[in-house]
Chains A and B, each alone.
Chain A
Amino acid sequence: DVKVTQSSRYLVKRTGEKVFLECVQDMDHENMFWYRQDPGLGLRLIYFSYDVKMKEKGDIPEGYSVSREKKERFSLILESASTNQTSMYLCASSFTYQPQHFGDGTRLSIL
Chain B
Amino acid sequence: GQNIDQPTEMTATEGAIVQINCTYQTSGFNGLFWYQQHAGEAPTFLSYNVLDGLEEKGRFSSFLSRSKGYSYLLLKELQMKDSASYLCAYIGTYKYIFGTGTRLKVLA
Contact = CB atoms under 8 A, between A and B. Distances in A.
Interface residues of B, number: 20
A66 interface: no
A45 B96 contact: yes
A101 B98 CA distance: 14
B42 A43 contact: no
28 contacts: A31-B94, A33-B96, A41-B100, A42-B87, A42-B98, A42-B100, A42-B101, A43-B43, A43-B87, A43-B89, A43-B98, A45-B95, A45-B96, A48-B94, A48-B95, A56-B94, A90-B43, A97-B31, A97-B50, A97-B91, A98-B48, A99-B33, A100-B45, A102-B42, A102-B43, A104-B41, A105-B41, A105-B42
Interface of B: 30-31, 33, 41-45, 48, 50, 87, 89, 91, 94-96, 98-101
Chain A: interface size category = 20 to 34
